[in-house]
Amino acid sequence: MSTATHDHAHGHSQDGGHAHDDHAHDHKPYGMMRWLGSTNHKDIGTMYLWFSFSMFLVGGVMALIIRAELFQPGLQIVRPEFFNSMTTYHGLIMVFGAIMPAFVGFANWLIPMQIGAPDMAFPRMNNLSFWLLPPAAMLLIAAQFAPGGGAGVGWTMYAPLTTQAGPAMDLTIFAVHILGMSSIMGSINIITTVLNMRAPGMTLMKMPLFCWTWLITAYLLVASMPVLAGAVTMTLTDRHFGTNFFNAAGGGDPVLYQHIFWFFGHPEVYIIAIPAFGVVSQVIPAFSRKPLFGYASMVYATASIAILSFMVWAHHMYTVGMPVETQLYFMYATTLIAIPTGVKVFNWVATMWKGSLTFETPMLFALGFLFLFSLGGFTGLVLSITPVDVQIHDTYYVVAHFHYVMVAGALFSAFAGIYFWLPKWTGRMYNETLGKWHFWLSLIFFNVTFFVQHFLGLAGMPRRVPDYALQFAEFNAISTIGAFGFGISQLLFLYVVVKCITGGEKAEQKQWEGADSLEWTHLPSPAPYHSFSTPPALK
């Protein structure tokens, strides 16, 4: 690299105003090839985020189809088979297509900048792990048009339903394989980057917490995604190659599938939640103008959550007929997770204590996360109690619970992160007023949609059923209105982001007074195409 790069990498605020195209060394290819062949962590991060947003819209439309059908009792809009297919692919697309790639996008953009590395450790593998996603998404969408329609088996893909489902199931299985490969490669890349590529002086315990959360998440992914790959491969061979893993007649057991699936599935919950914790742990200190309270305890709490997550899987299956002793073990182990999670929540609150707080959009979303994620955590604690869970298993109470942690938790955290880093990524500021509108609309409509589902679940309304008894009509109508409001509010988000990219005000290098990680202190806004080609000098 030329010396100009070095100057630029260290180019503090005086460089901040330049658009990156001005620099000769920012030689990026133009047109399609820039994106298809990109090995630049920032380009790949951008692609992950846009891919994630488009999947968020696809999964969102599916959610609205579900809610539209549930607006009134009886069958009005779609056939039950199609409804089942929608619940299935809404889940799969939101989990694997929207939320996970969103946080991988953050990881790509931020980890190299936050640890002072020039790029990810394996730039070409990085390219491959992104470009595996669109084919997987196409398979999931193509499954809708397979003979017999999409596989209405639920996102958990339980046997024996999956061993009997139509050809759509095979497309879905291959999609899961590809998504898994993408995640594993992405994780190997992240682990190697964090462990080997840090700038001199950037010790592990000096890293921003976001990097820590991703390091732990990446280990979770490498350990759990292959297990899911195994489970769906067994389903595939049961379907076509005469094996009997889950076929009772041949000596198999469908309950075995649930054990294997949830051995993956519970860590997966934290794969989604832990990077969200990381984003919030960057945002809250910045707007409190105080360092994160209890940094070391945050690291240890995150690691304990990750380890515990491999020991609690069967709390998803209290009703399959396990012995009481097993149920007790899983109940106690599950409630144990509340302790490290509580440590994190208290640390965030303590970070704000006596801070000079301001409430820009990222902070609002982080606070929304804090309140609503805690609420979702509490309902999770309720569900972890076996005798209670037996009553409300597979009801809308569960649906409400995991949407509080997935939407108000992970998604709100992603919004907080996007508003927080947009100035750094684009060099332009978003419209603060519209951002706040987006927050308040999302917050209100989210609660209108999902809070009432707690009542539906407690009253016994089962999930994944297109029709319901008359007494559930009012709450379902409210929930549907909320869902459409929430969906439309997200178009405002798209508008805010596009408006920011195309015509926002110029952002400063350190747009947020309290932000203290390297991308704010050492790099101009927008962050140059190549950053830290020589490692930054750290105290």
Partner 1 sequence: MIPVALKRINRQMCVRLSFFALLMFGFGYAMVPYYKKFCEVTGINNLLQRDTVVNTQVDKSRWVTLEFDANVHGMPWQFAPVQRSVRVHPGEMTQVAFDIKNNGNNTLVGQAIPSYGPKHSAAFVKKLECFCFKQQVLAAGESRQMPVQFVVDGSLPASVTTLTLSYTFFEVPAADKKVTSGSAG
Q: Which residues are catalytic?
A: 90, 119, 155, 182-183, 266, 268, 270, 281, 315-316, 341, 344, 463
* Piece of 11-19, 221-229, 416-424, 515-523 that binds partner 1 (CB under 8 A): 221-229
214 sits near partner 1 (criterion: CB under 8 A) = no
The minimum distance between CB 124 and partner 1, in angstroms, equals 12
CA distances from 377 to 221, 338, 359, 405, 417 (A): 22, 8, 24, 7, 21
User: Are 246 and 254 in contact, with CB atoms under 8 Å apart?
Assistant: yes
Question: Which of 24, 205, 249, 296 is in the footprint of partner 1 by CB under 8 A?
Answer: 249
Q: What residues between 253 and 292 interact with partner 1 by CB under 8 A?
A: 253, 255-256, 259-260, 263
Near partner 1 by CB under 8 A: residue from 226, 294, 487, 535: 226
The answer to the question of residue 311 lying near partner 1 (CB under 8 A) is: no
* Comparison of 262 and 295: residue with beta carbon closer to partner 1: 262
Nearer to partner 1, 131 or 310 (CB): 310
Write down the residue that tokens 């509010």 correspond to: 489
Q: How many CA atoms lie within 13 A of 329 on its CB side?
A: 9
Using CB under 8 A as the binding rule, whether residue 244 contacts partner 1 is answered as: yes
When binding is defined by CB under 8 A, the residue of 48, 89, 109, 122 that contacts partner 1 is: 122
Residue 465 near partner 1 by CB under 8 A: no
Applying CB under 8 A, does 4 fall inside the site for partner 1?
no
- Taking each helix axis from N to C end, the angle separating 254-288 and 338-352, rounded to the nearest 10 degrees, works out to 10
Cα separation, 136 vs 9, in Å, equals 37
- 223 is a site residue for partner 1 (CB under 8 A): yes
Distance CA 364, CA 287 (A): 10
Q: Is the dihedral of CA 267, 268, 271, 273 positive or negative?
A: negative
Candidates 121-129, 292-300, 414-422, 494-502; binding stretch for partner 1 (CB under 8 A)? 121-129
Q: What share of the chain is helix, strand, coil (3-state, %, to 5)?
A: 70, 0, 25
Q: Is 118 one of the binding residues for partner 1 (CB under 8 A)?
A: yes
Q: Is 415 in the site for partner 1 (CB under 8 A)?
A: no
Q: Compute the least distance from the CB of residue 2 to partner 1, in Å.
A: 12
Q: Does 535 participate in binding partner 1 (rule CB under 8 A)?
A: no
The site string for partner 1 over 173-212 (x = CB under 8 A, - otherwise) reads -----------x--xx--xx--xxx---------------
Candidates 77-85, 219-227, 335-343, 440-448; binding stretch for partner 1 (CB under 8 A):
219-227
Contacts with partner 1, 136-155, as mask; x by CB under 8 A: --------------------
123-158 as b/e: b if 16+ CB within 10 A: eebbbebbbbbeebbebbbebbebeebbbbbbbbbb
| C-alpha to C-alpha distance for 135 and 231, rounded to whole angstroms | 21
Which ranges of 70-159 would DSSP assign to H, the alpha helix? 80-92, 100-115, 123-131, 133-142
258/341 with CB nearer partner 1: 258
Dihedral sign (CA 499, 501, 502, 503) = positive
**Strand bridging mode 428-429 / 505-506:** antiparallel
State the first-to-last Cα distance of the chain, in angstroms, to the nearest integer. 25
Residue 518 Cα distances to 38, 195, 305, 424, angstroms: 24, 17, 27, 11
Is residue 387 involved in binding partner 1 (CB under 8 A)?
Answer: no
User: What whole-number distance in Å separates Cα of residue 90 and Cα of residue 95?
Assistant: 8
79 vs 124, beta carbon nearer partner 1 = 124
Asked if 362 and 287 count as a contact pair (C-beta separation under 8 A), the reply is yes
Residues 39-98 that bind partner 1 (CB under 8 A): none
Residue 247 CB, shortest distance to partner 1, in Å, is 8
Q: How many other C-beta atoms are found inside a 10 Å radius of the C-beta of residue 179?
A: 26
Q: Which residues bind partner 1 (CB under 8 A)?
A: 1, 118-119, 121-122, 125, 184, 187-188, 191-192, 195-197, 222-231, 234, 241-245, 247-253, 255-256, 259-260, 263, 321-323, 533
